[in-house]
Amino acid sequence: MTPNPLAAQRDGLHLSFSRWVCRICPGRMLSGGIILRMKAQADNATPLYGRYLIRLVRPFPDFDFPFIRQVRRRAVELLRLEQGDRVLDAGCGPGGSFPYLVRAVGPSGQVTGVELSPEIIQNARRRIEKNGWRNVNAVEGSAQDVRLSGVFDGLLMCAAPDVYASKEALDNMWPHLRDGARVVVFGAKISNKGIGRVLNPMLRLLLSRLSFPTTPKPDEEPWRLLSPRVDRIEIEEYLFGCMFLASGSAIGSRAKIREELVPAG
């Protein structure tokens, strides 16, 4: 099995933290140590923004950043979903895209969110509960090895570079996309335009502070891994070229993907 670098890193952190707890905790404090260990595990699977902001906004399940609403609307438009469709929101976070996806697939459709962080998924579940959505579910797990079922008509990866720039995650999800399913990615990129170039260092700093140490750093084409899997990929740029929306239709069959990735010898 291919080792999962994210899991390996998290396991390493858990182990050293729990060893430290055991060293400072004599027997009767062990249960406290176990609780601390569980908290450390949740924290290690939660990017920095999730550890503070997510708890702060938990009492407001419908919270979303106003500036991103327009992007979500456009992303869902590009998914071209129809009533009754099934859509996968990988790295769904607190479910900010759910309202747009739910509207697009209607009551007969289905929205599935996948989220790594046990902290952040609580917010997504609260959002689902508050809105009484019976056709939305949030699955805790990593896009690299979550067990998906059935076939999806659309895949959204919004601000989730750990997912869209991970071959393992794409390999895991692709067999569940119907041929021609729409795929839409929103994320940060390095700009080669005037003002954008000035913003690049700030973007790099911000992302390195807020994400996991293993999160792929943005470059000029962070959608690169999608190119062989998506037909006619189209890119829209935002914020002086520092943000992008990539969209296209999935080449669904595994055989087709393999053909393009491994040249016949």
Ligand X SMILES: C[S@@+](CC[C@H](N)C(=O)[O-])C[C@H]1O[C@@H](n2cnc3c(N)ncnc32)[C@H](O)[C@@H]1O
Does residue 120 touch ligand X according to CB under 6 A? yes
Cβ atoms of 104 and 85 closer than 8 Å: yes
Does residue 222 touch ligand X according to CB under 6 A? no
- When binding is defined by CB under 6 A, the residue of 91, 99, 196, 218 that contacts ligand X is 91
As a whole number of angstroms, the distance between CA 225 and CA 60 comes to 36
Does residue 122 touch ligand X according to CB under 6 A? no
Least separation, in Å, of the C-beta of 125 and ligand X?
13
- When binding is defined by CB under 6 A, the residue of 21, 78, 88, 92 that contacts ligand X is 92
Q: Which helix (H) or strand (E) holds 88?
A: strand 86-90
- When binding is defined by CB under 6 A, the residue of 33, 61, 93, 187 that contacts ligand X is 93
Cβ atoms of 161 and 224 closer than 8 Å: no
As a whole number of angstroms, the distance between CA 81 and CA 154 comes to 7
As a whole number of angstroms, the distance between CA 1 and CA 159 comes to 28
Cβ atoms of 132 and 57 closer than 8 Å: no
Among candidate residues 125, 116, 112, the one with its CA nearest the CA of residue 154: 112
Choose the stretch contacting ligand X; rule: CB under 6 A; options: 23-31, 77-85, 92-100, 257-265.
Answer: 92-100
Does residue 97 touch ligand X according to CB under 6 A? yes
Does residue 99 touch ligand X according to CB under 6 A? no
Q: Determine how β-strand 230-238 pairs with β-strand 86-90.
A: unpaired
Closer of 69 and 80 to ligand X (Cβ): 69
- When binding is defined by CB under 6 A, the residue of 76, 102, 114, 230 that contacts ligand X is 114
Residue closest to ligand X (Cβ): 93
Closer of 159 and 226 to ligand X (Cβ): 159
Encoding tokens for residue 92?
Answer: 């769904």
Contacts with ligand X by CB under 6 A lie at 6, 47, 50, 91-93, 96-97, 114-117, 120, 142-144, 158-160, 162-163
